[in-house]
Amino acid sequence: MKKEVKKELTKDKKTEAQIEKLVKKLTLDEKISMVHAAGLFQTGAVERLGIPSLKCSDGPMGVRNEFLNDRWIPNGNNDDNVSYLASNSALASTWNPELAYQSGQVLGAEARGRGKDVILAPGINIKRGPLCGRNFEYMSEDPKLTETLAVPFIKGVQENDVAACVKHFACNVQETDRLMVDTIVDDRTLYEIYLPAFKAAVQEGGSYSIMGAYNKLMGTHCCENKELLDRILREEWGFDGAVISDWGAVHKTKEAAEVSMDVEMSVFPDFDDYKFANPLKEAIQKGEISEKVLDDKVRNILRMMFRLKMVGKQKETRKAGTYNSPAHREAILHTAEESMILLKNEKKKLPLDKKKVKKLVVIGQNAAKIHSDGGGSAEIKALYEISPLMGLKTYLGGNTEVTYLPGYYVPDKPKTFDHNWQEKSLDELENTDIGVAVRNPDETLESAKEREEAFRVEEEARKAQLEKEKQLVHEKNKHLFEQALAAAKDADEVIFVGGLNHDYDSEGFDREDMKLPYEQDILIEELLKVRKDTILTFIGGSPVEMPWREQAETILWSYYAGMETGNAFAKILFGEVNPSGKLAETFPAKYEDCVTAKNGQFGIRGSITLSEGLYYGYRYFDRERIAPAFCFGHGLSYTQFTYSNLVLKPEKGKDKEKVVKVSFTIKNTGKTAGAETAQIYIAPISPKVDRPVKELKAFTKVKLAAGKSTKVTISLSEQDFAYFDADLHTFIADAGDYEIIVGASCEDIRLKGLCTLA
Ligand code: BGC
């Protein structure tokens, strides 16, 4: 039996003494100024004692543009364009921890270069289903893959003297009703699925800060949640950094003050009225809240500041960072290249031969679309973004005739929000989003009813607007389809670039279905009739249904892959880069196949119960034997790999821990160099408790020249065999037989072996 050991993070004694000294010197007002925002992205400073304000910025795909301090209006200085990094979903598809580290390095350096202390990234929520609007900002459906990439990412960021702020803690699995929704989850699921990446972020990544999520967890808002913030985060995991609230996630002064929530941020300019501003000060003065809780918060903030070299003598040695460097762009290109996923290449149509393509027709709006400026708080002001069309044209040069046709119509959406969308989104959500009944103590039943009615009316208007848009798309498409089909007939090659955009992949709302918008399915079917060999490529942040996938010969998928997307795209299509991305999430054939479609516990307001427990994503498809369109871990290469010689060796690790050494050989049997990600799943043979058929526990990505082979050795720890026993509140690795499965994907199993855990 493996008891979970509480990890004591080592605090530096000298720093702790300095912190104590400062805490003693700080007045109540000064302490209060440190624990709440004094600007949309910064806290108050205490200049008298050399304590600067804490400057934060979003987010995962690059450092966000500068706003005025108290309004969501860009300051307009035009010195805040930055490198646009691959989204976390793209990064995860590389299955490459080294690239995660490099991405962290780039983001950290850029954040520091822009004078920031905390970068509000990475987003590491688990993708429970395909429709969550923010999935593009998250890594994977699998906890192991998420944690393996999150840890080096955080280290990369923090090596630049900038704090990572892992978000959104915890179980922030949908955008619908995001400020109020209550996530109900059992302990086992929580500990096995939704917490491990956060735990690793804290204990292995050493994240200096963590963001408390908007939602409720088991009835209590995350930022007021004793169980989550005190017991789990502080006591079990030993976290001694700062908890920062999501922007507007603190609702009640006393409740939030009396748990380990340190910094209250929000979206409104009335900073003195924040819960941790005057209300907290007055409550302390009246003796309703002990000043000790404030001191603890200040300690956590100061500890982070010391680590970031923001205070004390070490300030001189703090890294300066930089942004927009050629080295950053190089790293971003590399990540983009490894992130794209070749889903299908049946007739080996790819790679194309540059010399043979004289007339290329490119169809589809995502060929020319720029994505960096959308998605919600992840939006950035990119220095540049190479679209696929631009990438193809610059790659091919003037000897190839490249014709672009939009193919389908995308309604020009006047942004539903002005620059102030972030404030409004919170305002509206708070006031109009529906609850089953009264949602807070200040609300009367009457006003709750009014709120519901207002919401209903708004929903109806929104749906009517959508219907209108669909109609418009339908009308405009007639002509655009004709144009595209005519051009396709007459080309050497046809590349379709479709998919989603940030009208779909976005903060603040979830997708309604998994279908490609703008009648793309109809166009694709027609295209495949005139050109069966159309190369279908997509850019999007989350899975889509592909009802035509059997007829299609070639499918390439890219998540939002950063400023160099177009260059990576061209290099892959023309074989200068061999694709090596693999899916970090299941691509279901249709949404109805997903467990959230069956149990209905997604996208509803009020509360959602994760009643599927461990069985979502591949764990669900495996158990139910439902074939997805493309399974977790899938991704092709232009070369082939064979796997052989599996050897399993039980050994004793340090502290006599039981470990199993797994080794096998991978050979590149094709004619081109390539990279392969081997995935190791563990399948208990006769488990004492209900367990998933198999679960990912390790993986490795190897790069091999044509004809070369390599021996891979990976150690599985006892923890890898364990499940969480909720009654005993501990992880247990039962003795017994386990199958070790080595796969090129979750379905493409190459080697199997049996091992016994004594
Ligand atoms: C988002 C966070 C983001 C914050 C600050 C919130 O709306 O949920 O992820 O970091 O805003 O922009």
Give yes or no for residue 699 CB within 6 A of ligand 1. no
Q: Which amino acid is at 383?
A: L
The answer to whether residue 248 scores a pLDDT higher than 90 is: yes
> Which atom, in ligand 1's list, is nearest to the CA of 120?
10
**Binning pLDDT at 50, 70 and 90, where does residue 9 land?**
low
pLDDT reported for residue 447: 76
For 391-417, give the secondary structure using H, E and C.
HHHHHHHHHCEEEEECCCCCCCCCCCC
Give yes or no for residue 165 CB within 6 A of ligand 1. no
Collect all residues with Cβ–Cβ distance below 8 Å to 195 and sequence separation of at least 6: 170, 232
Which residues have a catalytic role annotated? 246
**DSSP helix/strand/coil, 358:** coil
Phi-psi region of 94 (alpha: psi -120 to 50; beta: other; left: phi over 0): alpha
pLDDT reported for residue 10: 60
Give yes or no for residue 744 CB within 6 A of ligand 1. no
Strands 209-212 and 163-169: parallel
Cβ–Cβ < 8 Å for 55, 115: yes
Max CA distance (Å), the chain: 80
Q: pLDDT tens, 476-503? A: 999 999 999 999 998 999 999 999 999 9
Closest CA to 738 of 656, 680, 665, 657: 680
Cα(213) to centroid(ligand 1), Å: 9
- 285 φ/ψ angles, rounded to the nearest 5 degrees: -60, -35
Between CA 115 and CA 380 the distance in angstroms is 16
pLDDT reported for residue 654: 74
Cβ–Cβ < 8 Å for 230, 180: no
Closest CA to 701 of 541, 560, 578: 578
- Nearest protein Cα to ligand 1, atom 12: 377
- Nearest protein Cα to ligand 1, atom 6: 247
Between CA 228 and CA 451 the distance in angstroms is 30
User: Residue 608 is inside which H or E element, if any?
Assistant: strand 607-609
Kindly state the tokens that stand for 8.
């004591």
Between CA 410 and CA 498 the distance in angstroms is 11
Q: What does pLDDT average to over the chain?
A: 94
Kindly state the tokens that stand for 419.
């620059």
- Nearest protein Cα to ligand 1, atom 3: 377
Average pLDDT over residues 267-271: 95
For 483-541, give the secondary structure using H, E and C.
HHHHHHHCCCEEEEEEECCCCCCCCCCCCCCCCCCCCHHHHHHHHHHHCCCCEEEEECC
**Among 377, 507, 509, which is best to mutate for testing ligand 1, by the most ligand atoms less than 8 A from CB?**
377
The answer to whether residue 415 scores a pLDDT higher than 70 is: no
Average pLDDT over residues 307-317: 95
H helix and E strand count, the chain: 18, 26
Which one is predicted more confidently, 429 or 353? Answer: 353
pLDDT reported for residue 461: 86
The answer to whether residue 440 scores a pLDDT higher than 60 is: no
For 243-289, give the secondary structure using H, E and C.
EEECCCCCCCHHHHHCCCCCEECCCCCCHHHCCCCHHHHHHHHCCCC
Cα dihedral sign, 281-287-293-298: positive
CA distance readout (Å), 92 to 95, 206, 426, 571: 5, 20, 30, 20
- Nearest protein Cα to ligand 1, atom 11: 247
Strands 359-363 and 401-405: parallel
Average pLDDT over residues 428-447: 54
pLDDT reported for residue 293: 98
CA distance readout (Å), 276 to 174, 226, 291, 478: 27, 17, 12, 57
Between CA 723 and CA 4 the distance in angstroms is 11
Average pLDDT over residues 76-90: 97
The answer to whether residue 715 scores a pLDDT higher than 60 is: yes
pLDDT reported for residue 454: 78
Contacts 24+ apart (CB under 8 A), 548-553: 548/521, 548/524, 549/344, 549/629, 551/525, 552/344, 552/524, 552/528, 553/344, 553/345, 553/346, 553/347, 553/349
Q: pLDDT tens, 105-155? A: 999 999 999 999 999 999 999 999 999 999 999 999 999 999 999 999 999
Strands 401-405 and 341-345: unpaired
Q: Which amino acid is at 205?
A: G
Cα(448) to centroid(ligand 1), Å: 27
pLDDT reported for residue 438: 47
Kindly state the tokens that stand for 751.
């080697």
Strands 658-668 and 709-716: antiparallel
Q: pLDDT tens, 505-557? A: 999 999 999 999 999 999 999 999 999 999 999 999 999 999 999 999 999 99
Q: pLDDT tens, 160-218? A: 999 999 999 999 999 999 999 999 999 999 999 999 999 999 999 999 999 999 999 99
Between CA 239 and CA 163 the distance in angstroms is 14
Cβ–Cβ < 8 Å for 99, 677: no
Q: Calculate what percentage of the chain has a pLDDT beyond 90.
A: 89
The answer to whether residue 699 scores a pLDDT higher than 60 is: yes
Between CA 387 and CA 566 the distance in angstroms is 5
Give yes or no for residue 377 CB within 6 A of ligand 1. yes
CA distance readout (Å), 4 to 11, 326, 651, 713: 21, 45, 20, 26
Cα(714) to centroid(ligand 1), Å: 38
